[in-house]
């Protein structure tokens, strides 16, 4: 693995303060712990679905993959022989966790907050490294999937029972509020798995900038990103022989049907997932295998698709090291360290929340 220290441009600073949790907009926080809230099938969600289906090309937001079945299918995907990202990132994270924990405050690390935590299987390595340095971090898992949060709770109860876990069922594209740090303590926000690649640049940057807003100067942010590598390996990861990724793709229709009372039938579609070299990204599509007219329920009247017409359900971008560091920098983080897997397929960029404006 290659690792490189990137000189920090702005010294850590900022006033330590104690604050209550800020209100998580769009999320009902039902105390007592664990903090759990239901994501409402509200007008905003229906509006978003309508708007995305009306685009050219038609789209469905990839966050709708993650109903209970979708989350379980994603976990299955992470264990497929073809799906290299999870095991590559996990091995990398295990190897560099002590260095990351040290760089993020060591014994002072008080909060580890993960967005899109999934089952949080790889986060355990980081928490263990922090514990070994004498920290007693709280772990805050933010995910849109109740299934994923249940898995997190079970996993951490078994693997790191001494860590206090707080679960937040929330859509991080709507609003975001992280717990403030206590005096003399440090926070670390995580966005792993390459999930940043599921957003176009503008949305990715907006999300990272919102994460930055929630942190204090000197707090840390660790971003996991899939790197540009052999197109054949990337293609295979989204076109596995067992067809699990295809099932995952079809399942988004069931989730949308439930939400919108629409009548998408997965049998009318084929899974299509090409790697588009020009855009450095996999695109997942559902392509109509016959001419169909779909009743849209709460989304409106109906949607006509000719045979061969498609709906794009996901993009999954590949980055270069420079792309990742630039993204961190643009969002208000001073790139601090870079870690790369031995096969150069996955990278972890560590940034420090910067106090002042970006250095030109
Ligand atoms: N970080 C984990 C999981 C990656 S899968 C890993 O590396 O394996 C992406 C995760 O992000 C899923 O658990 C999904 O439920 C969650 N997710 C996707 N969109 C989200 C959103 N808008 N808000 C909150 N969670 C989201
Ligand atoms: C969550 N995200 C990073 C996964 C990816 O690889 O883009 C989702 C996924 N889609 C198909 N397989 C996995």
Q: How many CA atoms lie within 13 A of 288 on its CB side?
A: 16
Q: Could you tell me the pLDDT band of residue 93, with boundaries at 50, 70 and 90?
A: very high
C-alpha span between 148 and 175 (Å, rounded): 19
Helix axes 43-53, 244-260, angle to 10 degrees: 120
71, 192, 195, best to mutate for ligand 2 pocket (most atoms within 8 Å of CB) = 195
What are the backbone dihedrals phi and psi of residue 172, each rounded to the nearest 5 degrees, phi first? -75, -5
Shortest-distance ligand to the CA of residue 61: 1
The response to whether residue 191 sits with its C-beta less than 6 Å from ligand 1 reads no
Among all chains, which residue has been given the structure tokens 């905003």?
44
Predicted confidence (pLDDT) at residue 346 exceeds the cutoff of 80: yes
Predicted confidence (pLDDT) at residue 180 exceeds the cutoff of 80: no
The CA–CA distances, whole Å, from 230 to 127, 211, 254 equal 32, 31, 33
Predicted confidence (pLDDT) at residue 130 exceeds the cutoff of 70: yes
C-alpha span between 149 and 320 (Å, rounded): 31
The response to whether residue 193 sits with its C-beta less than 6 Å from ligand 1 reads yes
The rounded Å distance from CA 76 to ligand 2 centre is: 12
Closest residue by Cα to residue 87 from 253, 241, 237, 274: 237
Q: What is the pTM of this model?
A: 0.90
Burial of 95 (0-12, 13-18, 19+ CB in 10 A): middle
pLDDT computed for residue 356 by the predictor: 66
The response to whether residue 198 sits with its C-beta less than 6 Å from ligand 2 reads yes
The rounded Å distance from CA 269 to ligand 2 centre is: 19
Nearest CA to ligand 1 atom 18: 63
Spans of all domains in the chain: 1-360
Exposure string (b/e) for 146-181, b if CB count within 10 Å is 16 or more?
bbbbbbbbebbeeebeebebbbbbbbbbeebbbbbb
pLDDT computed for residue 338 by the predictor: 98
- CATH top-level class of 1-360: alpha beta
The mean pLDDT of 216-241, rounded to a whole number, is 98
pLDDT computed for residue 358 by the predictor: 56
SS3 334: strand
- What is the secondary structure of 141-183 as a DSSP string? EEES-HHHHHHHHHHHHHH-TTSEEEEEE--TTT---PPPPPT
Q: Could you tell me the pLDDT band of residue 30, with boundaries at 50, 70 and 90?
A: very low
């Amino acid at each position: 693995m290659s690792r490189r220290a990137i000189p920090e441009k702005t010294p850590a600073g900022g006033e330590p303060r104690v604050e209550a949790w800020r209100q998580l907009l769009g999320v009902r926080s039902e105390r007592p712990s664990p903090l759990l809230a239901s994501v409402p099938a509200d007008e905003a969600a229906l509006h978003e679905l309508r708007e995305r289906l009306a685009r050219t090309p038609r789209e469905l937001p990839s966050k709708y993959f993650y109903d209970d079945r979708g989350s379980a299918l994603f976990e299955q995907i992470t264990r497929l022989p073809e799906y290299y990202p999870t095991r590559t990132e996990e091995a990398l994270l295990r190897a560099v966790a002590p260095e990351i924990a040290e760089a993020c405050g060591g014994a002072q690390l008080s909060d580890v907050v993960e967005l899109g935590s999934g089952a949080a299987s790889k986060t355990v390595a980081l928490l263990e490294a922090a514990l070994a340095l004498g920290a007693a971090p709280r772990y805050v898992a933010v995910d849109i999937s109740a299934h994923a949060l249940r898995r997190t709770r079970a996993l951490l109860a078994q693997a790191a029972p001494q860590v206090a876990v707080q679960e937040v069922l929330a859509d991080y594209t709507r609003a975001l509020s992280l717990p403030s740090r206590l005096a003399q303590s440090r926070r670390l926000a995580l966005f792993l798995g390459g999930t940043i690649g599921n957003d176009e640049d503008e949305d990715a940057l907006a999300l990272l900038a919102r994460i930055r807003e929630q942190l204090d100067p000197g707090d840390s942010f660790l971003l996991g990103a899939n790197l540009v590598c052999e197109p054949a390996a990337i293609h295979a990861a989204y076109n596995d022989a067992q067809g699990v990724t295809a099932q995952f793709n079809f399942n988004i229709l069931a989730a949308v049907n439930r939400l919108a009372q629409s009548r998408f039938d997965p049998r009318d579609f084929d899974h299509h997932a090409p790697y588009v070299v020009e855009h450095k990204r996999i695109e997942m599509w559902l392509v109509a295998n016959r001419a169909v007219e779909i009743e849209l329920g709460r989304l409106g009247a109906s949607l006509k698709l000719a045979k061969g017409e498609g709906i794009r359900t996901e993009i999954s971008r590949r980055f270069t090291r420079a792309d990742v560091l630039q993204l961190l920098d643009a969002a208000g983080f001073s790139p601090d360290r870079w870690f790369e897997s031995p096969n150069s397929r996955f990278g972890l960029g560590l940034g420090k929340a910067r106090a002042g404006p970006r250095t030109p």
